[in-house]
Structure 1
Amino acid sequence: MAHFNTFAFGIYPYIALAIMFIGTWIRYDREQYTWKSSSSQLLESKQLRKGSIAFHIGVLGIFLGHLFGLLTPLEVWHLFGVTPQMKQTLAVGAGGLFGLICFYGLTILIKRRLFNPRIRATSSPMDIAILFLLYAQLILGLCSIFVSLGHMDGAEMLKLMTWAQNVVTFNSQVAVSAISDVHWIFKLHVILGMTLFVVFPFSRLVHMLSAPVQYLVRQHQIVRQRFVR
């Protein structure tokens, strides 16, 4: 088990991040034509709009929560008077809310992708695979809330924070030691999260790196309406 923890939480994160950064750079450099979200809005828009809005609101809240929740040093939280118990309560409440919103939207998108014949015909295997990977990761995250409710002292949350912060500072021994005895559902959640980094350069997820920026500065598309006499 010790060897598994060392690889999964001390080595695999760096492999996943290396693949994501190098793979993304190569794809942008060599295959910019594929750097897009491959929208299927022209084939069906009602369900896409309903699912996409909820999914993006939910996933943005989850992403920011994980980013600041895991990587903000504990001393900063203490500076603002936030105790581990308070942070745990905030994580459970906000994570549950945004998780349910994301679950609602992603369920619509998966149903649309699988059961709309036109959408299914234009979907690649990676399009479907990435949706199910996100779905599995989201379900694990929601299930972890019930585990967290059993110990609202924030102890396991602090271990996950210690793991994440020591990974980014290249202190893998401390990272592995911190996460080795947390609940298995958190471990699986972390491993699947790293796997999403691995498949990131090979999926349509790459558009998230440029869409928020280019959308603000790109030229407007002129659409003329045909008037019927």
Structure 2
Amino acid sequence: MSHFSIFAFGIYPYIAMAVMFIGSWIRYDREQYTWKTSSSQLLEKRQLHLGSVLFHLGVIGIFFGHFVGLLTPKAVWHVLGVSTEFKQLLAMGAGGLFGLICFAGLTILIRRRLYNPRIRATSKPMDIIILLMLYAQLILGLISILVSSGHLDGAEMLKLMSWAQNIMTFNSMAAVEAIDEVNIIFKLHVILGMTLFVVFPFSRLVHMLSAPLQYLGRQHQIVRRKVSR
């Protein structure tokens, strides 16, 4: 177990989560005007609509898949009658499906952002950086599926689950020991994922924390058309 592993997988996750939560709190408190996606729909909407729908559909599936898959204890899966091998196949299948959907959407959004002159002119550096970071993270995730296909016993998946659960229970040394022997692709995937937490408060990703759920319960707005005489 190297000093790098101890820092990257036992200390860095806490730094990343602290930066994300404290940074988001400060930004919301001091710069609420910047708490938005800065939509470029007025400049171009056809590619934005298609890319955004595919990206959000894919990323929501990936998020909940990771959340449930990594943080649900192994004992719970066994109580539900789900074997480790079947869970890995399920994770590979669902992750691959949502990953490809997200990849298609993100490819459209990146191409639009880089090659549409009007969109590029109004883009901030962080807009492009965060898209490329998400793209790299998504590619690593898809590669990890190919790596997982070489060992369908779910052994490395259990190590990643142990890492995530030990991090959440503040048992950092056990977390480092659990992830120390996994494939380098999984380690890069974890490190880049933590780095996304670090840049989260400084990017447009903050809009994820402001989903307009109140719209679901509010009364409908009545709009009447003015009839000209």
TM range (shorter): over 0.9
Shift of the alpha carbon at 1:216?
A: 3.7
Give the letter for the 2:81 counterpart: G
Shift of the alpha carbon at 1:217?
A: 6.1
Give the letter for the 2:75 counterpart: E
Q: Counterpart in 1 of 2:2?
A: 2
Q: Counterpart in 2 of 1:182?
A: 182
Identity across the alignment (%): 76
Shift of the alpha carbon at 1:189?
A: 0.1
TM-score scaled to structure 2, two decimals?
Answer: 0.95
Q: Counterpart in 2 of 1:46?
A: 46
Q: Counterpart in 2 of 1:85?
A: 85
SS of 1:82's equivalent?
coil
Show structure 1 runs of 4+ deviating over 4 A.
Answer: 217-229
Equivalent pairs counted in the alignment come to 229
Q: Counterpart in 1 of 2:108?
A: 108
Shift of the alpha carbon at 1:118?
A: 0.7
Q: Counterpart in 2 of 1:20?
A: 20
Shift of the alpha carbon at 1:199?
A: 0.2
Shift of the alpha carbon at 1:224?
A: 8.3
Q: Counterpart in 1 of 2:158?
A: 158
Pairing 1:143–2:143 present: yes
CA–CA distance in 1 between the matches of 2:139 and 2:192? 11
CA–CA distance in 2 between the matches of 1:217 and 1:45? 28
Residues 192-221 of structure 1 deviation map (CA, whole Å, 9 limit, x = unaligned): 000000000000000011124355467988
Give the letter for the 1:33 counterpart: Y
Q: Counterpart in 2 of 1:71?
A: 71
For structure 1, list consecutive stretches of 5 or more residues without a partner in the other structure: none
Residues 29-79 of structure 1 deviation map (CA, whole Å, 9 limit, x = unaligned): 000000001111111000000100000000000000000000001111011
TM-score scaled to structure 1, two decimals?
Answer: 0.95
For structure 2, list consecutive stretches of 5 or more residues without a partner in the other structure: none
Moved more, 215-224 or 184-193: 215-224
Q: Counterpart in 1 of 2:31?
A: 31
Shift of the alpha carbon at 1:2?
A: 1.0
Shift of the alpha carbon at 1:87?
A: 0.4
Q: Counterpart in 1 of 2:195?
A: 195
Note the aligned Cα RMSD (angstroms). 2.0
CA–CA distance in 1 between the matches of 2:79 and 2:64? 20
Give the letter for the 1:2 counterpart: S
CA–CA distance in 2 between the matches of 1:206 and 1:97? 26
